[in-house]
């Protein structure tokens, strides 16, 4: 019996040592496989998009490619400098988007697409990840930079969303730059409208089908958006667009819808969307990515893939997002053949992309 107890003790000591070793090995192992989303990748970071869609290398001239690349770089550098000097992510987002809104290359501000009535109706939104405050405007016609209006709605009004004529009046009262509606006119966008109208006429006026037709859907690239993390750990995101060519009946897309087109939360990430708005609203794309991180503990990359590569296409929609998480990890996920996009990290490294390669 004595011998048996002795052997038993030795066995226990041996197995517990083994367990300790195993545990040690396991914990060492854990260090190496730790989820990268938990590591601070960048002290500050900025990511932008200039719209997703059927953007193919073979359809792009060298001049156009250069023009887009230069404008994306100019815009992101504005935000980068703000973040580098300790400025807020909200300022970086707003000022970066202003550069894109002022360029006729993009479907936002100058260069916005035309409605069926040959007007331009602009949508925008912005969100502060620190406070979860948000502001947005829909269907404005005279505000030069709709993202600035979204910001003053957030900061200077008791509301989150203003629409139509009232939003234009509020912008004027806030001292924002007001322009004549002809400011938004560009020849290329008018041609797109004519093309879409001709196409629709040939389809014998089935409005609903025509609006969802890919030829029509693809004649509206260039929604713009930005997401940023600042040195204080604050996240922000914003989106600005003219919507979809030939829209009518006061159609509003996802861009000004908080949770669909834009979302930011310091606990998770900041997201800006671009794509087929009707589907992005139904899939609550930007908030869904944040929620997957929040409730399921997913990394930003995995959450973005889940929503953009599964949820949205399963519904029948397409598009993409750009996002940055609280640790400075950035993603640019899209299920179309291209998305104008760029990132800059805290080391000043710049990445610009257009096509899906
Ligand atoms: N999401 C925008 C809208 O549906 C369009 C786009 O991003 O291309 O209004």
Q: Model-level pTM? A: 0.88
Q: Is the CB of 317 under 6 A from ligand 1?
A: no
The verdict on whether residue 276 carries a ligand-binding annotation is yes
Using the atom order of ligand 1, give the atom closest to the CA of residue 247: 9
323 CA to centre of ligand 1 in angstroms = 17
pLDDT over 50 at 31, yes or no: no
**pLDDT tens per residue, range 193-249:** 998 888 888 776 555 544 556 666 565 679 999 999 999 999 999 999 999 999 999
pLDDT given for residue 145 in this prediction: 98
Using the atom order of ligand 1, give the atom closest to the CA of residue 221: 8
Confidence class for position 115, pLDDT limits 50, 70, 90: very high
Using the atom order of ligand 1, give the atom closest to the CA of residue 277: 4
**pLDDT tens per residue, range 171-189:** 999 999 999 999 999 999 9
Quote the percentage of the chain above a pLDDT of 70.
Answer: 84
pLDDT given for residue 340 in this prediction: 97
256 CA to centre of ligand 1 in angstroms = 10
80 CA to centre of ligand 1 in angstroms = 25
Which of 277, 285, 315, 337 to probe ligand 1 with, by most ligand atoms within 8 A of CB?
A: 277
pLDDT given for residue 268 in this prediction: 98
pLDDT over 80 at 144, yes or no: yes
Active site residues: 223
253 CA to centre of ligand 1 in angstroms = 6
HEC string for the chain = CHHHHHHHHHHHHHHHHHHHHHHHHHHHHHHHHCCHHHCCCCCCEEEEEEEEECCCHHHCCHHHHHHHHHHHHHHHHHHHHHHHCCCCHHHHHHHHHHHHHCCCCCCCCCCCCCECCCCCCEEEEEEECCCCCEEEEEEECCECCHHHHHHHHHHHCCCCEEEHHHHHHHHHHCCCCECCHHHHCCHHHHHHHHHHHHHHHHCCCCHHHHHCCHHHHCCCCCCEEEEEECCCCCEEEEEEECCCCCECCCCCCCCCCECCCEEECCCCEEEEEEECHHHHHHCCHHHHHHHHHHHHCCCHHHHHHHHHHHHHHHHCCCEEEEEEECCCCEEEEECCCEEEEEEECCCCCEEEEEECC
Q: Is the CB of 277 under 6 A from ligand 1?
A: yes
**pLDDT tens per residue, range 302-338:** 999 999 999 999 999 999 999 999 999 999 999 999 9
pLDDT over 50 at 15, yes or no: no
Which of 250, 273, 275, 334 to probe ligand 1 with, by most ligand atoms within 8 A of CB?
A: 275
The verdict on whether residue 353 carries a ligand-binding annotation is no
């Amino acid at each position: 019996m004595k011998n048996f107890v002795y052997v038993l003790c030795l066995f226990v000591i041996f197995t517990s040592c083994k367990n300790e070793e195993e545990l040690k090995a396991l914990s060492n192992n854990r260090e190496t496989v730790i989820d990268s989303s938990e590591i601070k990748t960048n002290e500050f970071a900025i990511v932008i998009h200039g719209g997703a869609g059927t953007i193919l290398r073979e359809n792009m001239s060298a001049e156009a490619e250069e023009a887009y690349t230069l404008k994306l770089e100019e815009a992101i550098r504005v935000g980068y400098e703000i973040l580098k000097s300790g400025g807020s992510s909200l300022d970086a987002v707003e000022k970066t988007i202003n550069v894109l809104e002022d360029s006729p290359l993009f479907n936002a501000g100058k260069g916005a697409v035309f409605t069926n009535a040959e007007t331009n109706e602009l949508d925008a939104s912005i969100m502060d990840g620190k406070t979860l405050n948000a502001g947005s405007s829909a269907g404005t016609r005279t505000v030069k930079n709709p993202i600035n209006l979204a910001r003053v709605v957030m900061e200077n009004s008791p509301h989150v969303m203003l629409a139509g004529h009232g939003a234009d009046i509020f912008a004027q009262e806030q001292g924002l730059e007001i322009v004549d509606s002809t400011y938004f006119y560009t020849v290329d966008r008018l041609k797109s409208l004519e093309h879409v109208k001709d196409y629709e006429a040939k389809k014998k006026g089935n409005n609903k089908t025509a609006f969802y037709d890919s030829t029509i859907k693809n004649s509206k690239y260039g929604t713009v958006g930005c997401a940023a993390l600042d040195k204080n750990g604050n996240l922000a995101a914003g989106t600005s667009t003219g919507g979809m060519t030939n829209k009518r009946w006061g159609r509003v897309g996802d861009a000004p819808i908080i949770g669909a087109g834009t979302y930011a939360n310091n606990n998770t990430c900041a997201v800006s969307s671009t794509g087929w708005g009707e589907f992005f609203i139904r899939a609550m794309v930007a908030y869904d990515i944040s929620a997957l991180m929040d409730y399921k503990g997913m990394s930003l990359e995995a959450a973005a893939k889940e929503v953009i590569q599964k949820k949205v296409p399963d519904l029948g929609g397409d598009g993409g997002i750009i996002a940055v998480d609280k640790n400075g990890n950035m993603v640019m996920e899209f299920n179309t053949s291209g998305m104008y996009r760029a990132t800059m990290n805290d080391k000043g490294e710049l990445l610009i992309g257009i096509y899906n390669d």
